[in-house]
Amino acid sequence: MNTSFDRVRAIRWHGDHMTLLDQRLLPAQVEYLRIDTLHECAQAIGDMVVRGAPAIGIAAAYGVVLGARQAQRSAGARWCEHLYSELDYLAGARPTAVNLGWAVQRARAVLRNGPADPAPLEALAIAIHEEDIAANHRMGQLGAALMAHSGGVLTHCNTGSLATGGYGTALGVVRSAWSAGHLKRVYAGETRPWLQGARLTAWELVEDGIPVQLIADGAAAWLMRQGTVGWVVVGADRVAANGDVANKIGTYSLAVAARQHGVKFMVVAPTSTLDMSADSGEQIPIEERAPAEVLQAGGRPVAAAGAGAWNPVFDVTPAALVDILVTERGIIEQPGRKSIRQLMQR
């Protein structure tokens, strides 16, 4: 496993509690928030203390452990029954990222076996965390192998260690490609309205010593026109059975611009993000958040008083615009229903 350019961890398990790097405060402050209960975990997910589909799933798995221990203290031998009633609350913390429901479902499967204590749930959470890091390194290797002599790469939102258990999905590919000498330039879109690219991706790359150029989201198409990037590499919050990709708002625009300019478009996502129950992107719920997130920046108003705002925080990129889907199980070119089904059967 390549450990170069891999210094950041957003989720830490301490045996009796979890700490989450509060991503709302980056890059100005590096502060970990202590989480002691399932409800605190759900609140942290909803408030975007932790974000990114894999990281949300990992945090939720540890949140289940905390909830199980609390249920055991309050309900005794009936702790499993009590915990079941709490799992729906946790699963509803954010609707779009499929890893949240996936982690809760894995916990439900453990509970169906009637464990005597929460130990199997803790083992599951640790396994989910470790599996994610291993998968990210594998995807990094697979994706980077396609990027030899590609010149530059543009990424969107944050898909690195902050969004995962460690190393990252799309940013893991960038890390691996940079380590292998395949890249000359790394560009990050700022990613309004939460500025995950500016605040988080740029911070991660600087921490790892990888030079990064930040661009305004609206500059992406013009950057592609200059011929300085060969790839757009993004993550995913959910991939439908037909290959449609739900990801941070602005991803669809990048895919359209990439196709126009002959730039390859790569989606990097673990198989836990593939939702075979969603026939297409039409079945993926798209979260809308408060208009204030668009009308403000850093808590300060940036729009005219009285203006409204529409704030979908994800969009869906049709599979036809995706050149490469990279998972820990392998690579799919021009993903579609048949190729994804075959991948999931490996």
For 169-198, how does the pLDDT look when each residue is reduced to its tens digit (9 = 90+)? 999 999 999 999 999 999 999 999 999 999
Would you give the distance in Å from CA 248 to the centre of its chain?
A: 9
Active site (annotated) includes residue 208: no
Among 344, 325, 244, 287, which Cα is nearest to 96's?
287
Whose CA is closest to 290, among 191, 193, 189? 193
How does residue 1 score in pLDDT terms, banded at 50, 70 and 90?
Answer: low
Flag whether pLDDT at 344 surpasses 80: yes
Q: What per-residue confidence (pLDDT) applies to 13?
A: 98
**pLDDT averaged over the chain?**
95
Stretch(es) of the chain classified as CATH 3.40.50.10470:
140-344
Eight-class DSSP state of 312: B
Residue that the structure tokens 């590609």 belong to: 150
- pLDDT > 90 in the chain, percent: 90
Query: Tens digit of pLDDT for each residue in 266-287?
Result: 999 999 899 999 999 999 999 9
DSSP string, 169-184: SHHHHHHHHHHTT-EE
CA-to-CA separations, 126 to 57, 84, 103, in angstroms, rounded: 12, 20, 12
Residues forming CATH 1.20.120.420 domain(s) in the chain: 11-134
* pLDDT single digits (tens) 223-261: 999 999 999 999 999 999 999 999 999 999 999 999 999
Distance of CA 235 to the CA centre of its chain: 7
Q: Is the pLDDT of residue 148 over 90?
A: no
**pLDDT beyond 70 at 2:** no
Could you read off the pLDDT of 46-81 as tens digits, one per residue?
999 999 889 999 999 999 999 999 999 999 989 998
Instruction: Answer yes or no: CATH 3.40.50.10470 is held by domain 140-344.
Output: yes
Q: Which one is catalytic: 132, 237, 275, 315?
A: 237
Mean pLDDT throughout 162-169?
A: 96
Q: Round to whole Å and give the CA distance between 61 and 75.
A: 20
State yes or no: pLDDT of 5 exceeds 80.
no
- Looking at residue 329, its pLDDT comes to 97
* pLDDT above 80 for 308: yes
The CATH number assigned to the domain with range 11-134 reads: 1.20.120.420
Measure the CA–CA gap between 12 and 30, rounded to whole angstroms: 14
